[in-house]
Amino acid sequence: MALAAKEAHEREMMGEMPQDAVRLPHHEVRMSVSHLDLFYGDHQALKNVNIDIREREITSFIGPSGCGKSTLLRCLNRMNDYVKDCRVEGKITLDGRDIYHDYNVTRLRQRVGMVFQRPNPFPMSIYDNVAYGPRGLGIKSRSELDGIVEESLRSAALWDEVKDKLKASGLGLSGGQQQRLCIARALAVKPEVLLMDEPTSALDPVSTVQIEQLACELREQYSLVVVTHNMQQASRISDSVAFFLLGELIEHAPTAELFRAPRDSRTADYLTGRFG
Ligand SMILES: Nc1ncnc2c1ncn2[C@@H]1O[C@H](COP(=O)(O)OP(=O)(O)OP(=O)(O)O)[C@@H](O)[C@H]1O
């Protein structure tokens, strides 16, 4: 983030400035979802969803439990391919190309990474966790891997805490550090989009703030899509927020607009705690 924007964002995070005062102009569309229907067997979990994900922005998905947020997130890198009896209709594009027809799934997941709710480091060293993806892509040179590991851990704001113990197990880190290790692991294959499914719900408040700050820094380079149940978090970190209900996208708007003046009464009801 440019310095002025970063300072403005920090002031906004501290409540000194309304969010719309620091919003940057809309960026290019990176992923586009059109007329998406998703069925688990007979149950329709997503209904005619249309949404654009823009580069270098954080898009948050909010809504009551079971409304389809994680299902849509998982569609964006075809995680639902593994789910038995799951059927997807409609179209999702990444840079204009159909993710189901124009990409093989490995290439897609290299470009669209995922961070899960519970930190899930592999049972191996910190170094090997981060080097895992690049090695899978065929990178063998030790010096190249060293560079990628350091750069990824720096980007995930973890390098200073682990640089002297890269051979130690990733499982020996704290929960917040493990989540940042998982972010470093995702960044190591140089994705363009990072999907985060409730990335702080298993973390303490200090680690939560660290991950939120990290997300805001990563926005400089990546498109982030974050599923969250935490309304304050959505308002603190997002450029735009999408509200879902019973599988439908009810409203997608710039963050300040959605929280201050939602267009749909169902969004307003949810935000004021009238249901969900
Ligand atoms: N693997 C699955 N098989 C069958 N049904 C599923 C599966 N995953 C999700 N569902 C159903 O699809 C609907 C949407 O679920 P999803 O997990 O996407 O909602 P969500 O909004 O992310 O919920 P939460 O906030 O509780 O995580 C729910 O009715 C859920 O029961």
Tens-digit pLDDT profile for residues 213-236: 999 999 999 999 999 999 999 999
| Spatial separation of the C-alpha atoms in residues 253 and 262, rounded to whole Å | 8
For residue 25, tell me if it sits in a domain.
no
Give yes or no for residue 190 having a pLDDT over 50.
Answer: yes
For residue 32, tell me if it sits in a domain.
no
Which runs of consecutive H residues, i.e. helices, occur in the chain? 3-13, 69-76, 105-111, 126-136, 142-155, 159-162, 175-187, 205-218, 231-237, 255-260, 265-271
Question: Mean pLDDT over all residues of the chain?
Answer: 90
Residue 9: which pLDDT band, with cuts at 50, 70 and 90?
A: very low
Residue 162: which pLDDT band, with cuts at 50, 70 and 90?
A: very high
Pocket residue to mutate for ligand 1, from 36, 70, 200, 246, most atoms within 8 A of Cβ = 70
More confident residue, 151 or 12: 151
For residue 153, tell me if it sits in a domain.
no
Tens-digit pLDDT profile for residues 233-264: 999 999 999 999 999 999 999 999 999 999 99
What CATH number is given to the structural domain containing 91?
3.40.50.300
Prediction pTM value:
0.88
DSSP state of 124: S
Mean pLDDT (whole number) for 174-183: 94
Give yes or no for residue 15 having a pLDDT over 80.
Answer: no
Total domains, the chain: 1
Residue 125: which pLDDT band, with cuts at 50, 70 and 90?
A: very high
> Which residue's structure tokens are 């179209």?
91
* Pocket, ligand 1, Cβ cutoff 6 A: 40, 43, 45, 63, 65-71, 83
For residue 35, tell me if it sits in a domain.
no
Mean pLDDT (whole number) for 179-190: 94
| Spatial separation of the C-alpha atoms in residues 76 and 24, rounded to whole Å | 24
What is the total residue count of the chain? 276
What pLDDT is stored for residue 25 in this prediction?
A: 58
Give yes or no for residue 23 having a pLDDT over 90.
Answer: no
Candidates 201, 214, 241, 210; CA nearest to 225 is: 241
How far away, in angstroms, is 71 Cα from ligand 1 center?
A: 6
For residue 75, tell me if it sits in a domain.
yes
What pLDDT is stored for residue 16 in this prediction?
A: 42
For residue 211, tell me if it sits in a domain.
yes
Residue nearest to atom 24 of ligand 1 (CA): 65
74 Cα nearest atom in ligand 1: 18
**How many Cα atoms occupy the beta-carbon half-sphere of 92 within 13 Å?**
22
How far away, in angstroms, is 42 Cα from ligand 1 center?
A: 13
How far away, in angstroms, is 251 Cα from ligand 1 center?
A: 19
41 Cα nearest atom in ligand 1: 4
Mean pLDDT (whole number) for 265-274: 92
For 242, the domain range is 3-14+44-121+192-271
Candidates 34, 55, 193, 39; CA nearest to 98 is: 34
- Give yes or no for a contact between 269 and 275, defined as CB atoms under 8 angstroms apart: yes
Give yes or no for residue 63 having a pLDDT over 60.
Answer: yes
Q: Is the dihedral of CA 257, 262, 267, 269 positive or negative?
A: positive
| Spatial separation of the C-alpha atoms in residues 212 and 200, rounded to whole Å | 8
How far away, in angstroms, is 95 Cα from ligand 1 center?
A: 27
Query: And the tokens for 48?
Result: 């005619």
What pLDDT is stored for residue 10 in this prediction?
A: 47
What pLDDT is stored for residue 30 in this prediction?
A: 96
How far away, in angstroms, is 118 Cα from ligand 1 center?
A: 17
What pLDDT is stored for residue 8 in this prediction?
A: 46
Give yes or no for residue 202 having a pLDDT over 90.
Answer: no
What pLDDT is stored for residue 65 in this prediction?
A: 94
Give yes or no for residue 22 having a pLDDT over 50.
Answer: no
How crowded is residue 250: how many other Cβ atoms within 10 Å of its Cβ?
18
Neighbouring-strand partners of residue 227: 61, 197
What pLDDT is stored for residue 1 in this prediction?
A: 42
Mean pLDDT (whole number) for 12-26: 47
